[in-house]
Amino acid sequence: MFDALYIGATGMHAQQAHVDAIANNLANVNTAGFKKTRIGFSDLVAGGVVAGQRAGAGENGAFVNASVGVGVQALSPGKVFAGGDLKKTESPMDVAILGEGFLELAMPDGSRAYARGGTFKVNADGLLSTQAGVPLKPNLSIPENAEAITVSATGRVQVRLPGQSTPVEAGQLELVRFANPQGLLAQGGNVYRATDASGEPIAARAGEDGAGTLAQGFLEGSNVKLVEEMVDLLVAQRAYEASVKVVQASDEMLGLINGLRR
């Protein structure tokens, strides 16, 4: 009975983590570029001696050694990088990535981070950056008097200056890919950092080497599907209730055992 209490508790804890992940997905259903979180599960197994089982036992009647299940655990949450629907904004500072790839960011501490496009701006240093002011790599200097910015599908950035009919080259946006993007660590604000699980970033030119292309004037929507998340929420709730029933039943059985002493 004590094992059943513990097993039921692990089930409740795992399903609570599942519900938390679903709740966060639903809360960000309208967040541009958001990638939903998925929770995996793994059974917990302990080695031990199972009393009363003599199948295959030796002449001395030794009990059979076996591994028994002791519950479930929620695995580390991972991001699902399936593409979201494109939303046309017609803003020249909105850029989406069609396909695989991330834009590299130069963080204030000197480290590197990665983003799936978004709404950009020109920061105080005149560099093309995220809304938080983090510049893109390589640094793209935008003249203060620029009248328009154009980003091609291959990442070529041009600006139009007053009195000039020919655009001026500002630089080239490069993409990076990862062998296992699910291993990236989310930092908030749709920014990710590389980990040992994700592997090192692989440089790629937009439209080549398996990398996607850029779409100016578009934002990538969240890849959260409301119907799927609601169904998953119901399943997680029922699984949680089942684990609660196991704990209640075990508690009642323990109460009966205690009553036998009277």
Question: Cα–Cα distance between 98 and 154 in angstroms, integer?
Answer: 11
- What is the rounded average pLDDT of the residues 133-159? 93
Q: Is residue 251 part of a domain?
A: yes
> Which pLDDT score is estimated for 107?
92
Q: Are residues 252 and 196 in the same domain?
A: no
Q: Are residues 107 and 183 in the same domain?
A: yes
> Which pLDDT score is estimated for 158?
95
The structure's pTM equals 0.82
| 6 vs 209, more confident | 6
How high is the mean pLDDT of the chain?
89
> Does the pLDDT value for residue 198 go beyond 90?
yes
Q: Are residues 122 and 59 in the same domain?
A: no
Question: Cα–Cα distance between 89 and 96 in angstroms, integer?
Answer: 11
Question: Cα–Cα distance between 203 and 194 in angstroms, integer?
Answer: 13
Q: Are residues 186 and 229 in the same domain?
A: no
> Does the pLDDT value for residue 86 go beyond 60?
yes
> Which pLDDT score is estimated for 136?
95
- Domain region containing 166: 86-220
Question: Cα–Cα distance between 214 and 221 in angstroms, integer?
Answer: 15
